[in-house]
Amino acid sequence: METFLAPAKINLCLHVLGRRENGYHDLAMLMQRVSLYDRIGISLIEGSAIRVHCGGVVLPSGQQNIAARAAEALFEQAGIRQGLEIAIEKHIPVAAGLGGGSSDAATVLMALNDMLGLDFTPDQLMKVGVKLGADVPFFIFKHPAWATGIGDKLEEVKGLPPVWYVLVNPGLEVSTAWVYQNLRLTTPRDNLRIPRFSGTLDEVVALLYNDLEAVTAERFPLVGEVKQQLIDLGAAGALMSGSGSTVFGVFSDEDRARAAVEKLSVRPGWRAFAVAPVDD
């Protein structure tokens, strides 16, 4: 069995620009992968069955699992059939605004492309991935990105500083669909542009914004409490990622981030992680 790493992501900013007739929303957001990983084991087996195992976490099984659907979609595109065993070791909290399922799906697409010598380009894999979820192409893109459309139109962002983040998940699972259904859109904005950076922490903090945070925090006030805890422990800024409930704080260095994790981890039900940006 070959093993692959599937990183989490955070949204440094997330603007909801409007709602489409098909129910999707137009977005403008800055996304960055971080060093919290699911581990994906993949084995090629006889036959054509695709089996997914994820010990200790309740996830959709069989063909309903996004990792299995990713494999099926790739095989359909390639015109082949292949049996698979996929073992997912979850470390990224589920339904937490960190893109764990999308990252798992993207990792399966890229891994199988290499294992089977299919020679699909990243752009071709991204076209397969967007049918599985709007965040999947971002994980195939492999760089910090300014994402527009439904999140699938990506431009690389350079110059982000080497900060550290502390992710705190307070043990709440939040439905992305519920958050968007309860979002009250304000005046549409069409003047947002891809941000430019010269490499300072203050530039990142100034950018922090999430239209979805107010919706989730109203239903789950614990989100606001987590933000304040991070600020009290030295974060230069804090924000909810995606639709929540994970909140991240921006720290200037690893030592401060790990010191904050040590204090936050004593809270019952809270999971805290010190992570660095991933760009490769």
Element (DSSP H or E) covering residue 238: strand 237-240
Query: 């695709």: which residue's tokens?
Result: 50
Cα–Cα dist 16/26, whole Å: 6
Cα–Cα dist 114/111, whole Å: 5
Note the pLDDT of residue 250: 98
Note the pLDDT of residue 106: 98
Question: Residue 92 gets which letter from DSSP?
Answer: S
Question: Residue 21 gets which letter from DSSP?
Answer: T
Candidates 104, 135, 152, 211; catalytic one: 135
Note the pLDDT of residue 241: 97
Strand bridging mode 209-210 / 2-19? parallel
Note the pLDDT of residue 221: 95
Candidates 9, 104, 152, 227; catalytic one: 9
Note the pLDDT of residue 63: 46
Note the pLDDT of residue 18: 84
What residue spans of 118-232 are helical by DSSP H? 122-129, 136-141, 176-181, 201-207, 213-219, 222-232
pTM reported for the whole predicted model:
0.93
Closest CA to 214 of 188, 240, 234: 240
Residue 9 known to be catalytic: yes
Note the pLDDT of residue 193: 84
Residue 158 known to be catalytic: no
Ranges of the chain with pLDDT below 50: 61-63
